Structure 1
């Protein structure tokens, strides 16, 4: 049983809180790159309880500054992009992407005030369709050589969605392999040709069995949790008969992401990023190992479910998640439609804006969640003692964090460990972008 003090320790993310200080050791997704396209590439950003303005200047350089103008605190998210920077409309003060004040045009001629003004700026970098920001002190860590960062642009697609609850309970749904047999149960299977870009709709590797059928018919999995140099690996097996076992390998990428299979050809790397203590965004990079991603189709699929500009879900708490009791009786376990993001959103938002973990009773299937919470508390403690927490990497260390392996497939009941490794290696070795890298 978790105490209220422990629950607050691992959920609160403002600058003065231990978990907030920990998360500021890492690069954080701040926006999708597409959000800075168009005529006016300026976006307000709330991240880890702080307010920023993110912009791309006339030369294409990225910058992220504190949102309040240092003159009289007007909102720079309404600024003008001109003359090499972002200009506050209140008195015309101009700032470049590094936060340097370039002009204070209303000041008397010869004034040196501008030279003494420095707006707080933050390192930002674009990777695989996501703009990452670093809010911590000192030099930011190196990015690991994950598949989603190594694959070229044609083979990755990024998207995000808003969730109306604390980041931790949102992350923990991805660390729970057992829930999919219930929360995402469909009473009928789709045709294989409709599976592209959709979770749990494709057939499992080395079989013609849809994942929906596996989850429906084999709902009591065995879960093994392994500690890795990047976080955790979860190996979930569902014995189908004496000869065949379904194997699914997923990962926790510390501190706040997971890496899971979407299909035999794609993986999902998904971060849960606090906006503040009571809301978050999920950011996902879909990585293809077979051919270029159909980005147009993937984006259109998801924009049917989310509204711009804030990527708010069309179905959610405000309209009871689309719940239909007739559908629940005949089509889906939840009665909340075909999109599993809606199912997950209901499950985690219904726990409250910040889950009260003093009231939960964990079981054997929650061993991944238990292991992650211990890892999180350990990292918070290390950070408080001034030590380097897990996955704060230097350049040399970053090259050693690769993959990680993910898969779901039907293999021999005896020898599942060799089977999942073989499936991952087979897919990885056949990826065109890995072959190109090897030849170079």
Structure 2
């Protein structure tokens, strides 16, 4: 367990908080590209405790600026997108994507007021359906050559969802390999031909055994945590027999993302991004190593579960997450439906707005969570000493960090390590978009 001070240190991410300063050293998802679709591409957002407006100018460039006009504090979310920027409707002040004041049209022609005005602004880049923002000091770091960034648009799909609690609770669920045997337990296995777009409903690689059966029947895995240049790799081993073992390889991508296998073809790269200290969004890029992603079907499935424009889950605290005691007895471990995001959401939100880690009792199976907290505290110590934290990369470093491997398959018990490496190599060799 942690002290109250330690818990606050690693959970609070607002301006000036140590973890907030650290998170701003990295590109963070700020919005989906699809959120700026339509004839008025502008949206107010809250990110890391700051109220901002993200928009697309008339030249196709993206901007992220402070929500309140520096003139009299009015709301730029109602601004006009025109003349190369975002214009405040109150007095017509105009700002570009870099926060430069372009016009103060009510001032005398000879006024130089505009030259002395700078609106808060952050750089924005688009990567496979997500708009990433850099809110830290100096030159932004380079993005690593991860699969989700280098795969073509045809083989990726991006989505998001709101979770009503602190970001760290969800990230720790994501790196926890044991909860899947309980929280995501299904008492019946689906037809794998109907598993597209669903997590834990396909059969595992190199076997016709459903993932759901493996998670249900083998609940005491061996867990290996291996350091990597991007954070760490988690290898979870479930021994099926003396001869065969289920191997699941997942990854922690420092500071606030993880990569997991979704099916034989797809992986999920997922970030947990603070809105503020008591709410966050998950953002995900689904990456296919096989056929192009059926984006319409992926979106259709998820829009049955989330309501726009703010991607609020339809099953939530207000309706007890759709809990059905009959379903809990006969179909799912939670009784909260087949979507694992609902299960995770309940687990995270039920801990409270910010989990009180002074009251927890971690076990051997929590070694990945312990490893993550150690990495986070090391990075905070490095930052305090003026050193460069993990994954703040230059171009050369970023180009060398690829992958990462994400595998779900059954191989020989005596050579599980060789098996997952060969399995990963085969998956990559068969991917049309990997040169």
Secondary structure of 1:53's counterpart equals strand
Residue equivalent to 2:113:
113
Instruction: Summarize deviations over 1:366-423 as a string: whole Å, max 9, x none.
Output: 0000010000000011011111000000000001110000110011111000000000
CA distance in 2, matches of 1:211, 1:204: 5
Residue equivalent to 1:245:
245
Pairwise CA distance, 1:225: 0.6
Runs of 4+ off more than 3 Å: none
Structure 2 residue 262 is matched with structure 1 residue 259: no
CA distance in 1, matches of 2:205, 2:83: 55
Structure 2 residue 346 is matched with structure 1 residue 349: no
CA distance in 1, matches of 2:387, 2:239: 43
Matches within 5 A, 1:386-405: 386-405=386-405
Secondary structure of 1:183's counterpart equals coil
Residue equivalent to 2:187:
187
Secondary structure of 2:310's counterpart equals coil
Matches within 5 A, 1:96-135: 96-135=96-135
CA distance in 2, matches of 1:180, 1:305: 20
Secondary structure of 2:362's counterpart equals coil
CA distance in 1, matches of 2:14, 2:384: 15
Residue equivalent to 2:77:
77
Residue equivalent to 1:418:
418
CA distance in 1, matches of 2:377, 2:225: 18
Secondary structure of 2:292's counterpart equals coil
Structure 2 residue 50 is matched with structure 1 residue 50: yes
Secondary structure of 1:378's counterpart equals helix
CA distance in 2, matches of 1:419, 1:89: 62
CA distance in 2, matches of 1:289, 1:150: 12
Structure 2 residue 307 is matched with structure 1 residue 303: no
Matches within 5 A, 1:349-368: 349-368=349-368
Instruction: Summarize deviations over 1:267-311 as a string: whole Å, max 9, x none.
Output: 000000000000000000000001110001001100100000000
CA distance in 2, matches of 1:104, 1:230: 46
Secondary structure of 1:91's counterpart equals coil
Residue equivalent to 1:287:
287
CA distance in 2, matches of 1:352, 1:147: 34
Secondary structure of 2:332's counterpart equals coil
CA distance in 2, matches of 1:118, 1:329: 60
Instruction: Summarize deviations over 1:110-139 as a string: whole Å, max 9, x none.
Output: 322222211121111001110000000100
CA distance in 2, matches of 1:412, 1:281: 39
CA distance in 2, matches of 1:102, 1:260: 45
Secondary structure of 2:223's counterpart equals strand
CA distance in 2, matches of 1:365, 1:295: 36
Residue equivalent to 2:23:
23
CA distance in 2, matches of 1:146, 1:103: 41
Instruction: Summarize deviations over 1:184-203 as a string: whole Å, max 9, x none.
Output: 00110111111111100000
Residue equivalent to 2:232:
232
RMSD: 0.7
Residue equivalent to 1:220:
220
Pairwise CA distance, 1:219: 1.2
TM-score scaled by structure 2?
0.99
CA distance in 2, matches of 1:174, 1:101: 42
Structure 2 regions of 5+ residues with no counterpart?
A: none
Residue equivalent to 1:269:
269
Instruction: Summarize deviations over 1:77-118 as a string: whole Å, max 9, x none.
Output: 110111111110111111111111111122233322222211
TM-score scaled by structure 1?
0.98
Secondary structure of 1:215's counterpart equals helix
Instruction: Summarize deviations over 1:222-254 as a string: whole Å, max 9, x none.
Output: 111111111010000111111111110000000
Structure 1 regions of 5+ residues with no counterpart?
A: none
CA distance in 1, matches of 2:231, 2:390: 8
CA distance in 1, matches of 2:360, 2:23: 25
CA distance in 2, matches of 1:98, 1:348: 36
Pairwise CA distance, 1:158: 0.4
CA distance in 1, matches of 2:284, 2:318: 24
Residue equivalent to 2:6:
6
Count of matched residue pairs: 435
CA distance in 2, matches of 1:357, 1:287: 34
Residue equivalent to 2:59:
59
- Tell me whether 111-120 or 383-392 shows the greater mean CA deviation: 111-120
Residue equivalent to 2:208:
208
